[in-house]
Amino acid sequence: MRREENERAGSLFVYSEEMGQFDFGPDHPFKPERATKTYDLCTRYGVLNYPWMTILRPEPLETGLAHLFHEAAYLELLRAASRGEVRLEMLERGLGTQDTPILPGIYEWSLRAAGGTHEAMKRLLGNEARTAFNPLGGFHHAMPGHAEGFCYINDIVVAILDVLRRQPDLRIAYVDLDAHHGNGVQTPFYGDPRVLFISLHETGRTLYPWSGYETETGEQDGKGFTVNVPLEPGTDDEVYSYVVDSVLLPLLQSFAPHLTVAQLGADVLISDPLTHLKLTNNAYQKTIKGLVHMSPKVLGLGGGGYDLYRTSRCWTLAWSILNDVEPVDEFAGLVGGMMFGPEMEVGSLYDHPFLSKGDVKDKAFEEARRVVAYIQKEVFPIHGISS
Ligand SMILES: [Zn+2]
């Protein structure tokens, strides 16, 4: 996808200030203000002011659409919880746990986040845009009947199910870069070859949601269309790039999607407080460049990312890559200029290189090679790829 194509067809940045103000509470790691920080950083780096870019204000998803994936009883309990009601059966649905607390307005907020993803996808497929990014979306853990992993309504699944209903011949690639396995998206498409699901994540042996092993490859018609790449703690840019080049890019090329939905969780970074991968945003950028190259249309979504400042840097870079524009710090060199995050990194969006060493590195590479060999043996033949 080239810049000229964006210029012709346009791009969408899904954002509203009110959405960024929603608060999960001081002790909860999920901070919607990351979207605001991303918007501010994109503005500061001059990557939001090109004429083909549009800010799309998310409207609430029609509740009927939420029913495409979620159980009516769950949605009703979520709505009641959002209004301040407390019922015993809420807890069985994940509502009121530490990860997915009951918050006033959470139902409406989640519907609006999902509405942003849905509208962006609709416009992409209606040729009103070529690329879009919703930093308020990417809730890949939400299940049909319960909330988990900071996710209440699965914006990704709802949007994909709706477009497949209207355009059943579409090929959609779903690429999940979040450090956590995209379990809530894997499940509904496990038998569906129209959706190529590829998730790169920290192994389920050490991280929630404890799933996403390489042996999970889909079933029936969907066999080979679910691809999981579990990674060891300590996985660095070098190991990650090896996996991207060996598995992700060949599969995308062979599948030739009409649309790629990319969950761009930034909790893979070395500084993330919740995970154990050790990436810098250099590998993250390279991966996004690769998938953009293989996809005629891309819908990028937020997701995890609990180092707020570095997450917003990642997403500023992601937006720049999606649009093929170069971020330039218009304030660089100004004494007493606006400070943004740790002082030593002011003036650059790019992380310093980092590579793991010793046993940690050896083990990460060894496991990655084993997983890649498994996928090349079991999955590649289904796609007619010779490894
Ligand atoms: Zn995550």
Distance from the alpha carbon of residue 166 to the mean position of ligand 1, in angstroms: 30
pLDDT of residue 342 exceeding 90, the answer is no
- pLDDT category at 206 given cuts 50, 70, 90 is very high
Distance, CA of 182 to CA of 228 (rounded, Å) = 9
Mean predicted confidence (pLDDT) in 168-194:
98
**How far is residue 164 from each of residues 121, 122, 170, 176, measured CA to CA in Å?**
11, 11, 7, 19
Q: What pLDDT score was predicted for residue 83?
A: 97
pLDDT digits (tens, 9 = 90+) for 79-101: 999 999 999 999 999 999 999 99
Ligand 1 geometric centre to CA of 276 (Å) = 11
Neighbours of ion ligand 1 (CB under 5 A): 178-180, 265, 267, 304
Structure tokens at 110: 């989640």
pLDDT tops 90 at residue 287: yes
What one-character-per-residue DSSP string does 67-107 give? TTTS-HHHHHHHHHHHTT---THHHHTTTTSSSS---TTHH
- CA 305 to centroid of ligand 1, rounded, Å: 7
Cα of 26 vs centre of ligand 1, distance in Å, is: 19
The per-residue pLDDT for range 27-79, each reduced to its tens digit, is 999 999 999 999 999 999 999 999 999 999 999 999 999 999 999 999 999 99
pLDDT band at 337, cuts 50/70/90?
Answer: very low
Check residue 343 and give its pLDDT. 44
Q: What is the Cα–Cα distance from 7 to 241, expressed in whole angstroms?
A: 30
Distance 330 CA to ligand 1 centre (A): 32
Q: Give the Å distance between the CA of 21 and the centre of ligand 1.
A: 21
What pLDDT, on a 0 to 100 scale, did the predictor assign at position 221?
Answer: 98
CA of 156 to the centre of ligand 1 (A): 14
pLDDT digits (tens, 9 = 90+) for 293-333: 999 999 999 999 999 999 999 999 999 999 999 999 766 65
pLDDT at residue 128 greater than cutoff 80 = yes
Instruction: Write down the H helix ranges in the chain.
Output: 3-9, 17-20, 33-44, 63-66, 72-82, 89-92, 106-125, 155-166, 183-186, 237-243, 249-255, 281-293, 308-323, 358-378
Distance 304 CA to ligand 1 centre (A): 4
C-alpha 213 to ligand 1 mean position (Å): 16
Active site residues per annotation: 141
Q: Is residue 7 classed as helix, strand or coil in its secondary structure?
A: helix
In the prediction, which pLDDT does 331 show?
66
What's the pLDDT score for residue 329?
78
Pairwise CA distance, residues 35 & 57, whole Å? 13
